Amino acid sequence: MPATVETRPVRSNPLRRLVVVAAVALMASGCLSRQPLTTGSIDASAPADTARRDIGRLAARYEKDPAEIGTAMAYAQALRATDQGAQAAAVLQQTALRNPKNPAVLAAYGKSLAEIGRFTEAAEVLRNAHSPANPDWRVLSAQGAVADQIGDHVQAQRYYEAALKIVPGEPVVLSNLGLSYALAKRLPEAESTLRQASADPRADGRVRQNLALVLGLQGRFTEAEQVLTRDLGPAEAAQNVAALRAVVSQPNAWKAIRSAEKKSPHGAAASAM
């Protein structure tokens, strides 16, 4: 439901990867993936194995001095990277209460809320993180991903378009915008936007998965499989497309997709995210 994209494994449950539209968007996005939303010096985008290794050390540092922003942000990032989203949100909530005017803290907190499905709260926090005088495209993209999750695709697309004015051609934002079009059943526009995103050298496999999803939703399964093969290999690409074909063939395919979206642990998740 979409970079700046951190590299994470693309092999996963086929239905989750290719049917949960918003979840794919969020995982593909720099706004609601586990990539930090900070605009400053804090970078806690370590892979999950590194996060697991460091989480004990970070927990001890946080317990010793929970008011230190860098430590709190790094600890929350490690928690998120190890699928402890609720704990990360709790840490960031306390950090936000101590630093209510810090946009990086608010952005990270808003993203963490969205990741655990608390979209209304996430929207409010991200609104406070946004500064019209100094706009951050990652925050705008995060706001778009949250708007998509609550069904306001028109507003979501406005956020993505605003982000693209700051970073024209950014594949992560384009990926989220394309999936927003898909959620609004504007599939030709979704395909065009996702093809543009996929053609960018910065795009990773998740962006191409989003394109494959939209191709599948149009019944173009052979093309979808060709796109997926680049990252997954022939056997897993075929498995993913078979799962997608099964869902799309249902009379209530869109209802099934939206139902799966709401059950995703990543935003319901990207949007992208």
pLDDT tens digits along 44-66: 344 567 778 889 999 999 999 99
Is the dihedral angle over the CA atoms 113, 46, 74, 201 positive or is it negative? negative
Confirm whether 76 is domain-assigned: no
Residues 6+ apart with CB under 8 A from 137: 163, 164, 166, 167, 170, 173
Confirm whether 205 is domain-assigned: yes
pLDDT value for 18: 45
Of 107, 120, 103, give the one whose Cα is nearest residue 76: 107
**Least confident span in 31-45, 148-162, 253-267:** 31-45
pLDDT above 80 for 103:
yes
pLDDT above 80 for 240:
yes
Task: Provide the mean pLDDT of the chain.
Answer: 79
**Least confident span in 22-36, 50-64, 130-144, 185-199:** 22-36
- The three-state secondary structure class of 189 is helix
Confirm whether 109 is domain-assigned: no
Give φ, ψ of 181 to 5 degrees: -60, -40
Confirm whether 259 is domain-assigned: yes
Distance of CA 75 to the CA centre of its chain: 20
Count the domains in the chain: 1
Confirm whether 251 is domain-assigned: yes
pLDDT value for 133: 84
pLDDT above 90 for 93:
yes
Confirm whether 115 is domain-assigned: no
Per-residue pLDDT band for 261 (boundaries 50, 70, 90) equals: low
CATH number of the domain where residue 209 is located = 1.25.40
Of 102, 146, 95, give the one whose Cα is nearest residue 128: 102
Confirm whether 196 is domain-assigned: yes
Note down the domain range covering 194: 1-24+167-273
Alpha carbon distances (Å) from 270 to 3, 59, 96, 148, 236: 10, 27, 23, 10, 21
Confirm whether 90 is domain-assigned: no
DSSP H/E element including 18: helix 14-18
